[in-house]
Structure 1
Amino acid sequence: MSPSSLRVATRLKSIQVSPILTLSQRARDLRAAGRDIIDLTVGEPDFDTPEEIKAAAKAAIDRGQTKYTALNGAPELLEAIAERMIDRGVNLADQSIIACAGAKQVISHALEATLEDGDEVILPTPYWTSYLDMVRLKGGEPVAAPGRNDPRTGWRLDARSIEAAITPRTRWLILNTPNNPTGVAATDEELAQVADVLRRHPRVWLMCDDIYEDLVYGRRARPLLVSHPDLAERALAVNGASKAYAMTGWRIGWGAGPSALIAAMSIVQSQTTSAPCSISQAAALAAITGPRASVDAMRSAFRSRRDLLVSLLNEVSGMSCPTPDGAFYAFPSVRGLIGARTMKGDMLASDIDISTYLLESAGVATVPGTVFGVSGYLRLSFAAKAETLVEACARIGAACVAVTAVTATQA
């Protein structure tokens, strides 16, 4: 088939490759061309997968655990996930579990199993950029519900904004806490307000993306389904092994929810991947049931890096950064830089311009807030060594001083 005869599906016309992956690839291309680039775009722990988890995978290979597993995942893995979910408010007497090739696939299966063309999915902003196109890919319409920006603590859930976004076509509300890109963790009070909204709108289902729940650096809110168990009958809890166990490449995630929903998602899985990788499932089982020392050590390291990065960013001219509660992202405001001019005379009119300027002039790759639904911000991952963060901030600081100095001179 010649390229000219290829007819791409209409639904793909509004879909793009993940902007984060695109920016990360740009950083790799510049490195390959000989540039010294610090990449702070990707949400991936820089730690290796813990040894006991790798050993479990090797043992699974040695004993021949290389065949298809059950559709929803190996029984022993599902049992371990079930034990884990009890503390998170999931009553497995009337609910089920599915293991997939990553938490992203769990979300994808749920949307594909439930959305009709034109159904709406509410995304509190800032939102993880992939939600937007995942909804569109399934024929749905993403609807942004603007968060409330507190300069001291960052972007907060706004229950009134969420309720205002609900229409007769609303099918899901996706909550991600701690949040990507901001690192903000919802409080008990904020979750209670959202729960009240959902009680007033019983047709709206709740998807809890809890992928960063093990990476909280202070007091954590009680899991929403523990505090509000009446919502469990229309809620899907999503999680995975990628972030807390440094297992991004193993591709194991899971979802727990009402049996009818999981059954519908299982139909989708039966016609896609059939089941997740058997070796990865063995590794995930070891992660979930094994010692927590490696998770605790990584969380402690991330907390130290968070504190370092936030302090350094708050010293940069034109930037202001609240301290994130969890995950491994800082989300500083760069509005103080918008309108500044580079030494070439180019105006930095947006966060996209600023991100591009930092990459080209300072060799630091960041993600503009615009791709997360809010403008005037950058996302920087602190899943990198302390010395890398120090060097990145030194470069960023010098680049920002340069543009503000040029702008002052031109004024």
Structure 2
Amino acid sequence: MAVRAVAGRFISCIHNNELLLCHRSIVGRTRRSSSTQAVEEPRPIASRTVITNPSHHTSDHIGSWYTLEPNTVKRLFGHGGIPKPYRTLCDAFFESSLMVRQPALSTIDYIKRSNLNLPPNKFMLYGNNGVGKTISLVHITHFLAEDGWVLVHVPVPSQWRRVFKEVVPSATNPDQYDHTRDSVMWLQHFRSQNTELLKSLQLETSEHYTWTQREATEVGQPLMTLADFGISRARFASDCVTAIIKELKQCASQDRCKVAVVIDGINSLFCPTSRYRLEDLTYLPPDRFTIFRAFLSLLQSDWKNGVIVGTIDKRDNEGERRKSYLPRYLLRQKGWEALDPFIPIPVVDYDEVEMRSAINYYLDRGWLQSPHSGSDVGRKELAALSNHNPLTFMEICKSI
């Protein structure tokens, strides 16, 4: 009926030689009505929780967003841990917010119920690309920091095997090779995350470490002294990482602290080859890297008062070993035996509640500008285009 009415008015205008005037009148009314409708349509408000301590998050908060304080982000993730695309998005939003999801809640609950008098429990998050494994790990890392755990956090170990900054023969072991600059960067990361906690725990070195004829770290020095020395003397940075890990394992076994090992892409530690070539043009196996050996020692069951949390990601394997995202395939026999037993925690795409919450958050922050994005049709299109995958959803919204 509406189409017939409009057509009739056009015909009438033609007969009266007023087509142009009528066309302008109709278009003007249409634009004004659509503009008024877009203004009047309320913008969805993101589901948020004011509870910023992850230890208090429950299943009632699933799908809600919580915001990390800027100082917390700088202290815990200033040297890595949050993926660069997500960090860029947080900068655009002027806040660092995470969605509360079940994998992180399950891991936190398991950690709370762990018996710390036994060897460390191991929790491995796995799933397809872009489902949110690393962001869940950020949530868990925040909980561990708030709960008083000493963090041994490795954001991207695969870089030490593929895109290393500098590799030189070890200053103390001729059969090993050191990542000097990468080790310095990790020591800075460790110092940023744990300085205040280590001061209160008053952890001290239990051994005498001789570096040169003139330089040594005496028994009874604050543990952070090792990190400071490695940062100032890059040649010994990898050995300082090894010393810190050894001291932390001993302190934890003596009930002096709790140590949380957090490794994003833990399967990278078990890849058989690296991209570093020796003089004979053969590729160096990663188990000859000092820093790899240091972190692999943390996966052993010869200490207590600890937990090990990691992600298993096929993108951290070499190209020909990425056909499946399942742990047994990506870890190989060596990694499977090193981590056994561990608790597998699947991370999947957004469900309907989480998808709706993600769209509402983007609308709330003004990232989705189209007035149709919040409609039922627009939401269905966004869900279909992204297939409910968090990373794909973030990428398709870049150009919207």
Q: TM-score, normalised by structure 1?
A: 0.28
More helix by share: 2
Name the larger-Rg structure: 2
Q: TM-score, normalised by structure 2?
A: 0.28
